[in-house]
Structure 1
Amino acid sequence: MADVVKGFMDRITNEDPESRGQQLWVMFALSIFLVATLNYYAYVREPDVIEIGSLLEYKNEVVKVEGTLVSWVEDPYSSGDDRLDAIVDDGTGVVEVRWFRPADMPPIGTTVTASGDVIEYDGRVWLQSLGAGAMEWSASDIPDAPVLAIADVAANPQDHEGTVVRLKGYLSKSIGPDATFTSAYLGDHPNYGNSEHQMHVLIRSSTGTWIEAHSKVTVQGILTYQQRDLRWSLSIQGPDILIDRQHEVDTTQLDWAAEATWSYQSGQRVSMAGTLETDGDPWMLSGPGTEQICVLPTDIDRAANDASSLNGTLQSVEGRLLWSTTHHGWCIDANEGTEPSLINPETPVSLMALLSASPQTLLDQPERTYTLSSFVKYTLEPSVEDEEGYVVDAAAYTPGWTTVATTFPGPRTQWLEAGQSIVANVTVAWDDEDMRIRFIVNDYTLGNPPEARTLLWDDGATQWGYARDQAAKLNGRAAQIDGEWHLVRPGSNDTIRLNPTSSTVGVDELHADYALTWQGRLRQMESADGLSMEFVLDQAAVSDMDGDGLADGLEEAIGTSPSAEDSDDDGINDRTELENANG
């Protein structure tokens, strides 16, 4: 074999002029073959898997990196490009993968392998990938993230730093379908004023659909500490947000007198009542004074107006509140993912909306009775006399909510809870003394009371004052001090006076050493010396779901079931077994 190669090389390297042309053709063909072979090898060879920290050593080469998918955004510049930018972290560094003609993406936190050309330009380095096979992962690479409560993360965020976290909560703002980057908050209550915790979230990549403010969602992402803003943030992807469609999102009623607060509802679904003017472009809605807001109707609304003119009629409209650069002001747009039309003829105008749009119309008919559907603003205790209170158009505080003074009839034997829904037959009167409109309640029906408010020891007296007279929960150990029951903060000397109910199980010797969650009514009462006021958890009790005489919190602590009187089915209930064990 060596002789054959030697003979071939001698023939193409000899200097005989008669064979020189043949030699050139052979050398040309050989060079073509070598180049083709090298190109084929470069095409079919498997790229090397390298560390991200050493990418610069492979500039203009095709490589693979393996790491955790931190975030991604589709069409980052909203230019219509079929492109996706992803961030991958392998522990040695972080790289941006610019993926053209991409495929579906896995959840955040998945271990992925990305391949592409190493590009360095103007000091920036990224991987440029093309086609569906540029990013790979398997089912075993997808993280199994348990669903946590926001309170779990808030207690010890450091324990979850850099890990994949799945949370349920309520979004603080509406998210547009084309927004590629949104900063928002995830709360543990749909109303900001009732939320005990707020998690900052960074939403990357467009959702493709409107997600309403206060929607109940499940999100998954990586928890990181933002040093610049001194806060913890959860990075999530818009398309991965799961929306609970069973949770109904309330429509905010805009108040004509609170235009300064309208910006808080920007992008949200809102309703408003007023006199509709359809003879111009755009349509306008007028309030009780000179106030106006433009409304953008759907084709259905225009057809209804053509069939029977709506001009000059009192209407309640619904749409999305958006700032219009064309009309230089706020507009209620019915074309942006809200109801099919601006005006729903099957929905009557509510009394609160009528009052906002045309209060004089109501005052001109003092004998007329209206049906009011609203919420109690402040807690009212039982009374034998008529008592003044307030009703509002939302269960909890929202900027610009409408408050109306109301007289409730006596005698009443039940509490009216703050945030409790109420349906009442009322008349509308003018209060000369306070110079305002007042609802006079003839009779009413109450909805279910809201859940008891959870108090935190660290909140202190100022925050607790907002829960005065409301049903409240507080965790602590019941103990007698100077002949009076107190609730003692675990690991501290902080206490609050406790008035337990006569039937509660939480004050006997079996519960003496355990911190339990007590529920009662937070009252402010005069102290024993008469010189100050103090908080008291009145008519307090602990939960005992199975009725076995052991508090649910105690059963969880000792390992028995709170929902079964006899956890081990041995014929002896759990309390008796605990008493026998304690001798």
Structure 2
Amino acid sequence: MDKITNDDPETRGQQLWVMFALAMFLVATLNWYAYVREPEVIEVRQLLEYKNEVVKVEGTLISWVEDPYASGDDRVDAIIDDGTGVVESRWYRPGNMPPIGTTVTVMGDVIEYDGRIWIQSLGAGAMEWTSSDLPDVEVLAIADIAQDPASYVGEVIQLTGFISKSITPDATFTSAYLGDHPNYGNSEHQMHLIIRSAKGEWIEATSKVEVQGILTYQQRDLRWSLQVQGPEILVDRNHIVNIPQLDWNAEATWSYQSGQTVTMTGVLTTTSEDWALYGPSGTSICVLPTDEDRQADATESMHNTLQTVEGRLLWSETKAGWCIDANEATSPTLVNPETPINLLAMLSADPVGMVADPDTTYTLSAYIKYAVEPGVENEEAYFVDSASYSPGWTTVAVTVPGPRSAWLESGQNIIANVSVGWDDEDMRIRLTVHDYTLGAVPSARTLLWDDGATQWSYARDQNVLLNGRAEFTDNQWLLFRDGSNESVALNLQGQAIGVDEYHANQSMTWAGRLRQVQSDDGMSLVYTLDQADVLDSDGDGLGDTLEQNIGTSTTSEDTDDDGETDREEHVNGQT
């Protein structure tokens, strides 16, 4: 020891080598201790005190998602609740996952970044549990939950029912309803499901399934939800799924069957690479046949023949229209559009990640909440998940691009490619619409005079129908309520037939867009009917009310099919 500590120049080199060897031994000893020591089991609320350290957390597995961003990562994001808080475990190269509700012990590094904290785990042994940790599962009926949902909150339960919509194989975060009858209208109870992690195969709408998960209350939507895992959904293959047939006359409702296997009958054309099916009015839908279909057509042509086709109804990004795909949706140009509630669920799972990735686009199928008028500028609007108001409907703020040459009608279906961004001014997430395709224009809404101004405000900017008698008063056309002085101003469309000699001084059903404008004195708001004219369903120049009075058809411009329109016959009869 004296040789190590003295200042003799002859021994100084030896001293340095000995000190270096001691330092290396000390470092190796500390590394060995760090490797072999058992990480400390801590509570979730203590995580911030252990940043960048290896710890263990013991709690209940309440959900998990495999490959959360569908990027091909060998990763599972698991949510653990230990009673003091909830933490996410990002588990790379994971092992098998236990059922929801299992008590697990997770080991990993505590990571804190940009205000978020999680445990980063690696390898199959990073999550441990034993058979005694598995949950006790209570088998219930949906009706049991409906009677007293609060008594089952936080418990692991098992339900059997019929799923409301088709689930895509790669849907890592989606939602659906579980009913006690395959048909929605006959179902007495509906249990909302939040489905995490991809199933890996299609689940057909109205399939009979068995699900297991934890019941929670969603404060935002004011409803109960069952949190389930896609891979754990069991499908009863013995249950026969009824395949719906699409109606050519109800194109506006096709989006309701998005992702489902459907059938459709029409005239099939097979001359192009992509086949098409035509309906009675000339409407068409693209058909993507199998190789077997093409071989059958080559053997015996099916071109211009009446056929019933079966396949999955999906949206074609290249054609901007619906297609029936007989190839189990393997075409890369076909997508099953997201719904607002699914997109919000994805945002809830990773809001920072989605906002930070504005270049990613999503195809969204939704409905327009309030009408948006034509214009050259971008316009703020809202998308909802149903055509008309329903309690708890999901609303998403959007920016619609300009220029727009046509109205976006309230309740109109829209399929749009959107990206997710942050609105600094409103402090909210907002979707930017890049391009879109509109569905059929909804039917005009019937107004009643007795409803009054407050109820009318819900139809503002919409196409409406209103009964009344048109009169020209004080240099303007007004529509008066029968037997009353109540009136709204009429801004007539060009060549309006409602004010000609054949419709004058009669009570008629008028159609137009309900607008709210300032009065002439600027002291109040008044209603007007823009682009107003009498309702003429068949376009023959006679209003529906007049045709009902004289006995001609409101759906045919030539009721007696003699080559002379109903208006021509009426005018000739009057003269």
Same fold (TM over 0.5): yes
1:262 aligned onto 2:254: yes
Which residue of the partner structure matches residue 167 of structure 2? 175
1:228 aligned onto 2:220: yes
Shift of 1:146: 2.2
Shift of 1:45: 1.2
Distance 1:76 1:199, change over 3 A: same
Deviations 1:12-56 (A, max 9, x none): 222111111011011111111111111111112111111011001
Which residue of the partner structure matches residue 8 of structure 2? 16
- Give aligned-pair identity as a percent: 73
Which residue of the partner structure matches residue 38 of structure 2? 46
Shift of 1:11: 2.8
SS at match of 1:49: strand
Which residue of the partner structure matches residue 277 of structure 2? 285
Q: Distance in 2 between matches of 1:208 and 1:12?
A: 68
Contact 1:210 1:337 in 2 (8 A): no
**1:430-579 superposed matches below 5 A:** none
Contact 1:70 1:89 in 2 (8 A): yes
Which residue of the partner structure matches residue 327 of structure 1? 319
Shift of 1:144: 2.1
Q: State the TM-score, normalized to the length of structure 2.
A: 0.57
Q: CA RMSD in A?
A: 1.1
Which residue of the partner structure matches residue 289 of structure 2? 297
Q: Distance in 1 between matches of 2:136 and 2:44?
A: 25
Contact 2:153 2:216 in 1 (8 A): yes
Shift of 1:67: 0.2
Q: Distance in 2 between matches of 1:248 and 1:259?
A: 26
Q: Distance in 2 between matches of 1:33 and 1:309?
A: 84
Shift of 1:281: 2.7
Q: Distance in 2 between matches of 1:178 and 1:276?
A: 31
Match of 2:136 among 135, 144, 147: 144
Q: Distance in 2 between matches of 1:328 and 1:271?
A: 20
Q: Distance in 2 between matches of 1:158 and 1:124?
A: 31
Match of 2:87 among 73, 85, 95: 95
Q: Distance in 2 between matches of 1:162 and 1:260?
A: 40
Shift of 1:318: 0.3
Which residue of the partner structure matches residue 110 of structure 1? 102
Q: Distance in 1 between matches of 2:34 and 2:292?
A: 61
Which residue of the partner structure matches residue 127 of structure 2? 135
Q: Distance in 2 between matches of 1:13 and 1:151?
A: 84
- Give runs of ≥4 in structure 1 deviating > 3 Å: none
Which residue of the partner structure matches residue 459 of structure 2? none
Which residue of the partner structure matches residue 183 of structure 2? 191
Shift of 1:147: 1.2
Match of 1:123 among 106, 111, 115: 115
SS at match of 1:173: coil
Which residue of the partner structure matches residue 145 of structure 2? 153
Q: Distance in 2 between matches of 1:12 and 1:58?
A: 39
Q: Distance in 1 between matches of 2:291 and 2:97?
A: 37
Q: Distance in 2 between matches of 1:203 and 1:12?
A: 68
Aligned pairs, how many? 330
Letter in 2 for 1:71: S
Letter in 1 for 2:175: S
Match of 2:208 among 213, 216, 225: 216
Letter in 2 for 1:243: V
Q: Distance in 2 between matches of 1:251 and 1:208?
A: 22
Match of 1:66 among 41, 58, 62: 58
Q: Distance in 2 between matches of 1:56 and 1:67?
A: 17
Which residue of the partner structure matches residue 546 of structure 1? none
Which residue of the partner structure matches residue 166 of structure 1? 158
Q: Distance in 2 between matches of 1:185 and 1:129?
A: 33
Contact 1:251 1:271 in 2 (8 A): yes
Deviations 1:91-150 (A, max 9, x none): 001000000011110111000000000000111100000010000111111112121001
Q: Distance in 2 between matches of 1:11 and 1:316?
A: 99
Contact 1:266 1:322 in 2 (8 A): yes
Deviations 1:151-205 (A, max 9, x none): 1011111100111111111100000000001111111111100111111110000
Q: Distance in 1 between matches of 2:47 and 2:248?
A: 59
Contact 2:138 2:156 in 1 (8 A): no
1:244 aligned onto 2:236: yes
Which residue of the partner structure matches residue 412 of structure 1? none
Letter in 1 for 2:280: P
**1:389-404 superposed matches below 5 A:** none
- Unaligned stretches of 5+ residues in structure 1: 1-7, 339-583
**1:265-276 superposed matches below 5 A:** 265-276=257-268
Q: Distance in 2 between matches of 1:285 and 1:13?
A: 96
Q: Distance in 2 between matches of 1:29 and 1:313?
A: 90
Q: Distance in 1 between matches of 2:46 and 2:136?
A: 30
Q: Distance in 2 between matches of 1:13 and 1:232?
A: 75
1:34 aligned onto 2:29: no
Q: Distance in 1 between matches of 2:130 and 2:208?
A: 30
Shift of 1:211: 0.2
**1:309-324 superposed matches below 5 A:** 309-324=301-316
SS at match of 1:99: strand
Contact 1:63 1:117 in 2 (8 A): yes
Q: State the TM-score, normalized to the length of structure 1.
A: 0.56
Letter in 1 for 2:230: G
Deviations 1:337-384 (A, max 9, x none): 69xxxxxxxxxxxxxxxxxxxxxxxxxxxxxxxxxxxxxxxxxxxxxx
Contact 1:52 1:93 in 2 (8 A): yes
Q: Distance in 2 between matches of 1:241 and 1:326?
A: 33
Shift of 1:319: 0.3
Q: Distance in 1 between matches of 2:302 and 2:157?
A: 52
Q: Distance in 1 between matches of 2:295 and 2:15?
A: 86
